[in-house]
Amino acid sequence: MSAELARTPPPTAAAATAVVPRTTLIQNVLDRYRDALNALDPMAARAVWPSADVKGLDRAFKGLKEQRVQFDCKITPVGATAATASCVGKVAYVPKVGGKGDVKDQQWEFKLLEKNDSWLIDRVVTTR
């Protein structure tokens, strides 16, 4: 029996490589964006949204003691290299001055593009 096992060829590299669904890759980008907002880190936001207004985010973040963003998204692929994500959730924040926080319902519309095998945010529109 061990001779039979010895003759069994090893799995190929293609069989060992798992294909990650496009929606999972896109959700990972959205999660990284949310994490950047929660960390009040404009450069982390820019890492997944290259055209993000870093100076504007920095000004906004400097006025906050804390922020917690949560959202759930419906991802819709558009062709081979684009997608949209419609998200609903909440933003809870505590300003540095005044100290009294607030929680607001919010919606996000993301346009994402795949470039060089990486998904990135192209545009974000938020509404309350």
| pLDDT of res. 8 | 54
Mean pLDDT, range 20-49, rounded to an integer: 96
Mean pLDDT, range 54-74, rounded to an integer: 96
- Classify burial at 85, counting beta carbons within 10 Å of its beta carbon; exposed 0-12, middle 13-18, buried 19 or more: buried
Mean pLDDT, range 71-92, rounded to an integer: 96
pLDDT at residue 30 greater than cutoff 80: yes
Task: Say what the pTM is.
Answer: 0.83
- Residue spans of the domains in the chain: they are 20-127
pLDDT at residue 17 greater than cutoff 70: no
Q: What share of the chain is helix, strand, coil (3-state, %, to 5)?
A: 35, 40, 25
* CATH fold of 20-127: Nuclear Transport Factor 2; Chain: A, (3.10.450)
Instruction: Give the separation between CA 8 and CA 42, rounded to whole angstroms.
Output: 52
Residues of the chain above pLDDT 90, percent: 75
> Token pair 């095998």 is at which residue?
117
> Token pair 């980008």 is at which residue?
29
DSSP helix/strand/coil, 29: helix
